[in-house]
Structure 1
Amino acid sequence: MRKLSYLIVRYRKFILIVTAILCVLSVVGIMQLKINYSLQDYLPQDVPSSQAIEKLDDEFDMTLPNAQVLVPVQSVQDALQVKTDLSRSDGVISVLWLDDSIDMTVPLELADQDTVEGFYKDGMALYQLAVDTDDAQGKLEQIYTVREGVRVSGNLVDLANAQFSSQNEMSKITLFIIPFVLIILLLSTHSWMEPVAFAIAIGVGVLFNMGTNFLLGEISFITQTIASVLQLAVSMDYAIFLLNQFNHHRKEGYKPEEAMALGIQKAVTAVASSAATTVFGFLALVFMRFRLGADLGIVMAKGIFFSFLSVVVFMPAFILSIYKLIDKTIHRSLMPNFSFLGRVVLKARWGLIILVLILFLPSFLGSRNNEFIYGNIGYPDEARISEDREFIDEQFGIKQQMSLLVPKGNIPNELDLEAKLKEIPEITSVISYVSTVDKAIPYEVIDDGQMSMLMSDHYTNFIITAEIPAEGDSSFDVVTRIREIAASEYGDEYYFNGLSVVMMDMKTTIEADEKIVNGLAILAIALTIMIAFRSLSLPLILVFTIELAIWINLSVPYFSNTAISYVGYLIISTVQLGATVDYAIFYTDTYLGHRQRLKRKAAILRSAGEVVQSLLPPALILTCTGIVLNIISSLSIVSELGAILARGAVLSFLMVIFVLPCFLYYFDYIIRKTTLGLQLVPDQVLWRRRKRNK
């Protein structure tokens, strides 16, 4: 590393030129990036609903309705004209209305009134549309122009809102976060220019990461919205540590070039260790079968790697170019002295341990018993789309459409299947070949165009409408009953899909991911800590400290009786561990450094003042990042992630500052015995007691 550090210093101008070129290329790469706005696309291909969607597309060249459109109409004929107009809108694949369920030559008064009122009542017609989701915003706007008073709800609206929010809010989020970051850094640095240097160094890493995302093909809108600001917040301490080393060696009398070379050598080991724990935490997400985890995990791990490279290679070259300007803008540190916290911890150590014992079990159980939402993107209550959804639900009820494909050719089985489906109270209509056509008419006589949605060469399609929400226990119960009925008639030779079906498969998949992802993250980070400290006990102590903060964080929704997104729950479980375990590592490293020269109490007193000043800026930056995401994002899943992230950063910081020192104090003897090559100053009170007990 010594030779490399001097090469970086020597060729700093070349590094700056190459970095500038790569930044331009990264901007070009950003413009090539495709964003995926559908969480459903991240389900594994082998789950039943994914297979059913593929089969429906292969056999019928159609998709299930993803939008409900309510239009005021004058008459049935007017409603039929609106249907024609909707079908001509760009991107509309199919339109289902009353005429697809009943014979319109029969007076409506003689038809089944539940079926009629599911599509037409009180001068309003409700249409079920299947719409292409490329440019969902544009497709939605076109639907709004079909007729005055159009209202739309459904998955299309969710996707359009996700597109609008992620495209328009990302820059707004960044613009809000940067001033907070600069203010926090100004309070903790000694020059007015240092925060700018930090922001540029990490900004280059962020730009490289964003500019290489197109190599992945596409990324999710969630990753696109949070990855950049999360990378900025998590890796800022790398830049702070390098500059502190540079300033330290300059104070010792070294020339700037020599001081930077020495600073790189000193910083690389510590920053690499810190980055490795964070990278392993994010890479654990790659092992989720729900591929959104891999999407975010790869982008974030790549981002941490680019931040590391930027700090180690670009930042030294940049600092050596502006260090004179930094020197001219020096000011006194505005950060207060926190050495008193060491005394607070020592005086309250028994109380803090008792508090941990009290919080441990309730927080663990609470974090494991939350009520979850599995797929709803959500949008603000005051938005037009929220008002439209509520109006449609009030007028026609909450409805979900599902498709059940069964092998074609067995009319008695189809009749039996339809009868059983109609026995489910929540099902309001079943559209199928046997319900639409006289059973005595042979397949060969039927007009292919008329039956194209209900029959293919190999399958019959049952289009089922049920009064259930997209997800929840009642919805999943209906899905389970339909699957049981289909299995009783056709074994495993059926395909069943719909939004509620997808949500149930998403629930099953994500819940199965939890133990694997959390277990791998904990194992990988614990192994990294074990190797770094050459200790068996420290990984347990440090990981437990952060895990306790995570349990408390994720138990808050349980005790406040608030449902949370399971995707956010799982991501935060890993992100908080990977992003904040560095706090515990830094505190422990500082404490052990002093402990080799001082007794336990003196080591804690000395560590507290040093550690808080170093950890407070990154903790505040991560907290502010979460708060800004929570306030600005109109996407409920992103806003919720922000709130949990902010709370998690605060809790992890408090646990490291107040609880970890207690663990280090009381487990001092065990740490010494289980850490290879660790030489500590004998603490007579502690060790004499151990010898006496022997």
Structure 2
Amino acid sequence: MKKIANILVEKRIVILIFFVIFTVASIWMMTKVKLNSDMTQYLPDDSSTKKGTEIMLDEFPAGSSFNIMFKHLSDIERLAIRSELEEIPYVRSVSYEPDSDLYNQDSYTLYTVNLSVNAYTPAVEAVTDTIKNEFKGYDITMSGDALGNSSKDIIPKLAVIAFVILMIILFIMCSSWVEPFLFLATIAIAIVINMGTNIIFPNVSEVTNSISAVLQLVLSMDYSIMLLNRYRQEKEKTADKFEAMKMALAGAATSISSSSVTTVVGMLALCFMSFKIGSDMGLVLAKGVLLSLICIFTVLTALILIFDKAIERTAKPAFHIKMDAIGKFSFWARKAIPVFFVLLFIGAFFLRGKVGIAYTMSDYYEINKIFSPKNNIVVLYDNADEDKIATLAQDWEENGDIDTVNAYSTTLGREMTYDEMAEAPDMETSMVAQMYNSYFAYHPEVGTSTSPEKIVLTDFLQFLQNNVAVNPQYAELMPSDMAQQLVTSMQQIPQQMMAQEMTAAEMATTLQMDFPIVEQLYSFYAISKGDMPQGKIAIYDFMQFIID
């Protein structure tokens, strides 16, 4: 190690220039590192969520969504802005209801923007940039998983706080006002090089990229302090600073290297996590600690020698924590302390299951402080299990913790009575009931049609005159020329036939009307008498029946 120490000291300027150039190059390489915001890519291959995500991408069209909250909008602006949002490229639809508390709270207005592209794509960023440009004069807040903005926003703030705390501690504990700046300059070079050399990976998680700098800083700072302390000790033995640094490097290399290797191995252990982001973080941080070690032996060595006089001129009393009392207590309680920690371990073991797990950033988003957060869960199933899922969906709808369940069985596949169906498409109950009667006539296994088999001719004619002819809904069934035709037919029908019961086919022949029209009128006749169809039809089947 003495030979290496000699080279590091004697070639310190060349080495420092090399690392400065490497740092500049790393700044350029940082711009070429691909960042990944899609956390689903790090799920284990055997994870049901991973498999479900892959099926969704293969079987269903791309899509994602995010929320945008406006403040102080008038009623006219609220509807106008929804229309403007819908005109933005890649926006499939915008969810907003003017009269709903889910979208309106005091002076706040919420829109859910549904996109035709997957989350974490450049198209999403294009949409948000367009929104920011078009609504510059408005007070807006955006959030949502599609934006991938959770770590972008909060982690830099935490990094600033950590940096300030670290600087305060260094200024208090160091023996010179210059030392903290030398430490930070050295670690900063290591951090930049680490972030630039991430270009060797296909991509780096956005989370890893955000926290790696802070973690590298705190994990490596000890090595800088260890080297400088050893240098100060060696200077007390010799007046030659170069010789003192050589001795410090040779003497501290073993302890610093051992400590760093332990840290590097600990970071690499993250690679064995089933959640693949552990591998992403482990490799980046292990590389960062190794680069910090190299920079401390090279860059910090040069900086200490260059600023040696400045360190001496800015010397100050260092704050030292007196450990005498703690040492006496540790010796006095040496038998009780192991027992205490065993009990603490047992207690922690049983309490670990009581820790709440956060599955979303709902408390973080500003929008969720105004509007109740919504957490959507997607459940994929094979179409062959449709009947089983219908039962499950019904159970979920009855769960008080679940607001709504959107599935085939609860939407298009949901079975409804005629009056429930009338409310859905906003149609007349009588018209829907008539269609139900027609459907049940074709599918008697599903429900019971109340269309009469036979009607007295006189009753039917009176029904046409009093109910059908005056109802605009049935204008197509009985136009004005048909009404005149019925009057002529009535004059030609023998009196004895007027009290005769007839089937729909017989009635059509007698009155010279189309059989399908008479068949529908028979159904309407039963409904006008209060005889409603019995049974339920799925919305999809009902609509398909009408179309066909």
TM-score (normalizing by structure 1): 0.50
- Does 21-30 or 132-141 show the bigger shift? 132-141
The answer to whether the 8 Å contact 1:119/1:127 transfers is: no
1:31-180 → structure 2 map (5 Å cutoff): 31-63=31-63, 65-67=64-66, 85-92=84-91, 94-95=92-93, 129-130=114-115, 132-134=119-121, 139-140=127-128, 142=130, 154-156=144-146, 159-166=148-155, 169=157, 173-174=159-160, 176-180=161-165
User: 1: distance between equivalents of 2:165 and 2:102?
Assistant: 52
- Structure 1 counterpart of 2:356: 372
Structure 1: which amino acid aligns with 2:127? Answer: K
User: Could you tell me which residue of structure 1 aligns to residue 9 of structure 2?
Assistant: 9
- Distance between the aligned counterparts of 2:113 and 2:57, measured in 1? 18
Decide whether the 8 Å contact of 2:94 with 2:111 is kept in 1: no
Q: CA deviation at 1:428?
A: 3.5
3-state secondary structure, aligned to 1:66 = strand
TM-superposed deviation, 1:378: 4.3
Measure the CA separation in 1 of the matches of 2:232 and 2:382. 73
**CA 1:21–1:43 in structure 2 vs 1: closer, same or farther (change >3 Å)?**
same
Contact kept, 8 Å, 1:118 with 1:126, in 2: the verdict is: no
SS at match of 1:95: strand
Which residue is 1:588 aligned to? none
In the TM superposition, 1:243-322 aligns within 5 A as 243-253=228-238, 255-322=240-307
1:196 aligns with 2:181: yes
Read off the aligned partner of 2:371 and give its amino acid letter: R
Q: Hey, what's the Cα distance between the residues in 1 that align with 2:111 and 2:172?
A: 58
- Alignment partner of 2:323 out of 330, 335, 338: 338
Which digits, 9 at most, give the CA deviation of each residue in 1:451-502, with x for residues without a partner? Answer: xxxxxxxxxxxxxxxxxxxxxxxxxxxxxxxxxxxxxxxxxxxxxxxxxxxx
CA distance in 2, matches of 1:36, 1:90: 23
Query: Which residue in 2 is equivalent to 1:508?
Result: none
Query: How far does residue 422 in structure 1 lie from its aligned partner after superposition?
Result: 3.7
Match for residue 215 of structure 1?
Answer: 200
Alignment partner of 2:5: what SS? Answer: helix
Q: In structure 2, what is the Cα distance between the partners aligned to 1:308 and 1:183?
A: 23
The alignment's C-alpha RMSD in Å is 4.1
Deviation of 1:52 after TM superposition, in Å, equals 2.7
1:389 aligned to 365, 368, 371, which one?
371
Letter in 2 for 1:352: I
Question: Which letter does structure 1 place at the counterpart of 2:192?
Answer: L
8 Å contact 1:137–1:161 — kept in the other structure? no
Percent identity over the alignment is 25
Which structure has greater helix proportion? 1
User: Who is 2:396 aligned against?
Assistant: 424
Q: 1 CA distance for matches of 2:15 and 2:360?
A: 46
| Equivalent position amino acid for 1:303 in 2 | G
The answer for unaligned runs of 5 or more in structure 1 is 100-115, 440-694
**Residue 288 of structure 1: CA displacement?**
0.9
Cα distance in 2 between the residues matched to 1:84 and 1:414: 37
Local SS of the residue matching 2:380: strand
Structural mapping, 1:615-630, within 5 Å: none
Q: Which amino acid aligns with 2:255?
A: A
Distance apart, 1:67 and its partner CA:
3.3
Q: What SS does the aligned partner of 2:353 have?
A: coil
Q: Is the 8 A contact 2:82 2:96 kept in 1?
A: no
Post-superposition offset of 1:164: 3.7
Q: Match for residue 404 of structure 1? A: 380
Contact 1:257 1:320 in 2 (8 A): yes
**Secondary structure class of the residue paired with 2:378:** strand
Deviations 1:83-112 (A, max 9, x none): 7654432343x338699xxxxxxxxxxxxx
User: Contact (CA 8 Å) 1:162, 1:377: kept in 2 or not?
Assistant: no
CA distance in 2, matches of 1:16, 1:128: 52
Once the 2 structures are TM-superposed, how far is the Cα of residue 431 of structure 1 from its aligned partner? 4.9
Amino acid at match of 2:290: F
Separation in 2, partners of 1:163, 1:229: 14
Q: Comparing both chains, which one has the higher relative contact order based on Cα–Cα distances under 8 Å and sequence gaps of 6 or more?
A: 1
Rate the CA distance shift 1:340–1:153 in 2: closer, same or farther, 3 A. Answer: closer
CA distance 1:195–1:417, shift in 2 (3 Å): closer
* Distance apart, 1:305 and its partner CA: 0.5
The 1-side partners of 2:153 and 2:82 are apart by 27
Contact 1:190 1:330 in 2 (8 A): yes
Which amino acid counterpart does residue 369 of structure 1 have in structure 2?
G
1:386 and 1:118, CA in 2 relative to 1: closer, same or farther beyond 3 A?
Answer: closer
| Alpha-carbon shift at residue 244 of structure 1 (Å) | 1.6
What secondary structure does 1:389 align onto? coil
CA distance in 2, matches of 1:362, 1:36: 39
1:435: how far off? 5.6
Report the more deviating stretch, 281-290 or 323-332: 323-332
Conservation of the 8 A alpha-carbon contact between 1:153 and 1:389: no
How many pairs align? 400
Would the aligned equivalents of 1:231 and 1:304 in 2 still touch at CA under 8 Å? Answer: yes
1:337 Cα shift?
4.2
Name the CA shift for 1:89/1:13 in 2 (closer, same or farther; >3 Å). Answer: same
For the 8 Å contact 1:182–1:196, the answer to whether it is kept is no
**Letter aligned with residue 424 of structure 1:** W
Post-superposition CA distance 1:540-587 (Å, at most 9, x none): xxxxxxxxxxxxxxxxxxxxxxxxxxxxxxxxxxxxxxxxxxxxxxxx
Tell me if the contact between 1:193 and 1:329 (Cα under 8 Å) persists in the aligned partners: yes
Structure 2 residue ranges without an equivalent (≥5): 416-548
- Partners of 1:206 and 1:292 lie apart in 2 by 20
Rounded to whole Å, the distance in 1 between the matches of 2:272 and 2:53 is 24
In 1, the alpha carbon distance for the partners of 2:391 and 2:163 equals 61
Aligned to 2:23: 23
- Deviations 1:189-226 (Å, cap 9, x if unpaired)? 33332222222222222222222223323333332332
3-state secondary structure, aligned to 1:129: strand
Larger Rg: 2
Q: How does 1:209-608 map to 2 (within 5 A)?
A: 209-253=194-238, 255-366=240-351, 368-380=352-364, 383=366, 385-390=367-372, 398=374, 400=376, 402=378, 404=380, 406=382, 414=386, 417-418=389-390, 421-425=393-397, 426=402, 428-432=404-408, 436=412
User: Taking structure 1 as reference, are residues 419 and 21 closer, same or farther at Cα in structure 2, changes over 3 Å only?
Assistant: same
- TM-superposed CA distance for 1:371, in Å, is 2.6
For the structure 1 residues 50 and 199, does the alpha-carbon distance in structure 2 shift closer, same or farther, using more than 3 Å as the test?
Answer: same
Letter in structure 2 aligned against 1:67:
F
CA distance in 1: counterparts of 2:178 and 2:347, whole angstroms: 46
**Aligned CA distance change for structure 1 residues 388 and 22 (closer, same or farther; 3 Å):** same
